[in-house]
Chain A
């Protein structure tokens, strides 16, 4: 249990001096199976919790959709409406908007999965007692970025065959001599930087958000409880607490935004891979 609350108790663990957050935040002590590849720490446990939650919510949604379809009930229940709104958001404003109805529905399962996994894992960053985002260690963003990478290459190859690589490495309408310059840049940006920035953008946003929150709240603890602080200086604690609260609200926005951006970029990459003219 001590391990689980390690992040929360960060500032109080070492006496009176102020201790700013370090990168060690993201490598908490192992709880189970230490030393094996199945090593569990609190971030892994949070991820598993979110996966279980997502499975439960989605199967409940599926059940309520099926029931409504069977009974022919037109007015949805509140829970069903929540599911319809969330799923339709990905479907209408991301998939159909960028890919069109036919191709949008083809890639919808992947896009929906990516959106809800990223959202669920991000939102744990601001849930009290969990307090760290499941996406703030590189493993999960890397897997999601790889899924997006494989999918957009698959979409391109399926549509254009090997012409996809020709289209993306040797864009039409460029003088032949310029290919010496253009091809390496295109290769770098399409096949290397795309997945790297997808994973890094998500992870770094979550890391920066978490560090900011820890900084604010450990400063609050320092100002309120440390014996090194005297008199009116303690009032600074109120300020840092307010900042921390504001950043918590901001982190909710960031969690949704990063899920949206990750899904949107995946969609756009698929769309670019399938575009006829480059």
Chain B
């Protein structure tokens, strides 16, 4: 092994790619939920409708992470 190498890495780059792809949706889902909690705290009687919207928002945001999960299989 080359002396300049401190550590040799083995494995698949796609794993790092998915890690990066999960960051955005993670933050996104967190924002959606935190805002919903805030809104419900301000106006508890709207909880049911806000929750429906929250699930929709989560579904849209989470799709990005799932597309990231699919790409290694598509571009393998």
Contacts and interface: CB of A to CB of B under 8 A. Distances in A.
A257 B55 contact: yes
- How many B residues touch the partner, as a band? 10 to 19
A148 to B, nearest CB: 13
Nearest to A23: B73
Interface in A1-55: 23
Q: Looking at B59, B63, B73, which has the most chain A CB atoms within 10 Å of its CB?
A: B59
Nearest to A204: B66
Nearest to A257: B55
A201 B59 contact: yes
Contacts of A252: none
Nearest to A268: B56
Interface of B is mostly: helix
A264 B67 contact: no
Contacts of B67: 197, 200
Interface of A is mostly: helix
Contacts of A265: 56, 59
Contacts of B33: none
Interface in B27-76: 52, 55-56, 58-60, 62-63, 66-67, 69-70, 73
A170 interface: no
A260 B51 CA distance: 12
A276 interface: no
Interface in A237-265: 257, 260-261, 264-265
17 contacts: A93-B52, A97-B52, A197-B60, A197-B63, A197-B66, A197-B67, A200-B63, A200-B66, A201-B66, A204-B66, A207-B69, A208-B69, A257-B55, A260-B55, A261-B55, A261-B58, A264-B55
